[in-house]
Structure formats: C-alpha cells, structure tokens
C-alpha cells in the first residue's frame, strides 16, 4: 500500500511532468526553427556520387536557402549543380507537418525528383526520409561550425543504408545579407 504522502508526491511529480510537456513540444519546434534559420543563406561547394552507375562523378553546387515564412518551420532551397559545362537546376521545399516533415526535391516523386516523407532535427543535424517509387532513403544535413554543412544522401538496399551522394558546402553569405 502507498502512504498518503508518497501518493501525493507521485501525483505532484506526474503533474510537474505534464505541465512541462507543452513547453517541451514548443522548445522542440523552436529548436527546429532555429536549425532551418541557421541553414538559410548562400552555399557553395563540391560533391561526389560515391556509389552506383555514376560513381566518381564530381559536381559543384550553388544553392540559396531561405527559411519558411511566418510561423512555419522549414526551408526553401534553390540553385544549380554543375558537372563540367552541364548545369542542373536544384530545388527543395521542406516544411513541418505535425511532429515530422514533408516536402520534395525538384518536382517530387511524381516527376523527376524525390518526396520528403519524414524528418527530425536534433541539434545541428537534420535527417529527412526520402522516397521515389520503390526507392527509400535518407538525406542527412549536418552543420559544422556556422559556415560549413555536410550533406549525405543514402538509399536503403535490403536492410542497409548505402551512401550514394556526398556534398560539402561552405556558406558564402547569410540570408539576411542577401535580402539587404
């Protein structure tokens, strides 16, 4: 049997945790928003296809990221990636959907791109689930310092995630400087 004082103590602890839960959700949303705001800016850097048919292909990307407008959490990314003299437009839209993320690269899985079907932000790292038909994978973006970001795109093969694209970007300017 529980004594009255231990029951009161447990109830008080449960109420304290319950009172903190909305703040925790709000803190997570605020943390995610800060991450995407930190990614906003002009980025440039080299990448390489590290697996598959085009393994060894090197490219360079010039990308501009803008945070989602208003109270939304997410990012809009536009730019180009270039291999030799050939240039390919690159775009992505990532937006918060409940406790996860959704969006698309290029024109999504219905076109020539990929769908973003899930995502989480933890500290300086975002992990987005990507999908196109039977292809599933993940895009991991990690901020190193304030002016460097590493992006890895991996695909799921059987029960393993295989990295296929690696990209190292350096910040050229912040989004604020671009808008001035």
Whether 6 shows a pLDDT value over 60: the answer reads: no
Q: Is 161 exposed, middle or buried (0-12, 13-18, 19+ CB in 10 A)?
A: middle
Whether 165 shows a pLDDT value over 50: the answer reads: yes
- pLDDT score recorded for residue 168: 96
Q: Is 40 exposed, middle or buried (0-12, 13-18, 19+ CB in 10 A)?
A: buried
Provide the 3-class DSSP secondary structure of residue 52. coil
Give the whole-angstrom CA distance, residue 57 versus residue 146: 28
- pLDDT score recorded for residue 175: 62
pLDDT, average across residues 32-59: 92
Q: 6 — alpha (psi -120 to 50), left (phi > 0) or beta?
A: alpha
Give the whole-angstrom CA distance, residue 64 versus residue 52: 28
pLDDT, average across residues 121-135: 92
Mean pLDDT of the chain, nearest integer: 82
pLDDT (tens digit per residue) in 130-156? 999 888 999 999 998 878 999 999 999
Residues with Cβ within 8 Å of residue 39, at least 6 apart in sequence: 65, 67, 75, 126, 141, 143, 149
- pLDDT score recorded for residue 28: 55
H or E element that contains 130: strand 125-132
pLDDT interval class at 27 (50, 70, 90) = low
- pLDDT score recorded for residue 29: 60
Distances (CA, A) of 178 to 31, 143, 168: 24, 20, 21
Contact status, residue 137 vs residue 127, Cβ threshold 8 Å: no
pLDDT (tens digit per residue) in 72-118? 888 999 999 999 999 999 999 999 988 889 999 999 999 989 999 99
Q: What is the pTM of this model?
A: 0.78
Share of the chain above pLDDT 90, in %: 57
Contact status, residue 153 vs residue 142, Cβ threshold 8 Å: no
- pLDDT score recorded for residue 20: 39
């Amino acid at each position: 049997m529980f004594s009255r004082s231990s029951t009161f103590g447990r109830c008080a602890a449960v109420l304290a945790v319950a009172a903190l839960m909305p703040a925790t959700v709000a803190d997570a949303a605020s943390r995610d928003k800060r991450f995407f705001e930190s990614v906003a800016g002009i980025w440039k850097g080299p990448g390489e296809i590290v697996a598959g048919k085009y393994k060894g292909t090197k490219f360079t990307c010039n990308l501009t990221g803008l945070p989602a407008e208003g109270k939304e959490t997410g990012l809009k990314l536009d730019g180009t990636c270039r291999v030799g003299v050939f240039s390919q437009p690159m775009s992505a839209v990532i937006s918060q959907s409940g406790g996860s993320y959704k969006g698309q690269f290029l024109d999504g899985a219905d076109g020539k791109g990929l769908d973003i079907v899930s995502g989480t932000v933890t500290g300086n790292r975002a992990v987005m689930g990507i999908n196109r038909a039977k292809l599933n994978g993940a895009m991991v973006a990690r901020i190193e310092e304030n002016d460097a970001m590493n992006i890895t795109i991996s695909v799921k093969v059987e029960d393993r995630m295989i990295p296929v694209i690696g990209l190292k970007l350096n910040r050229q300017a912040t989004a604020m400087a671009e808008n001035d």
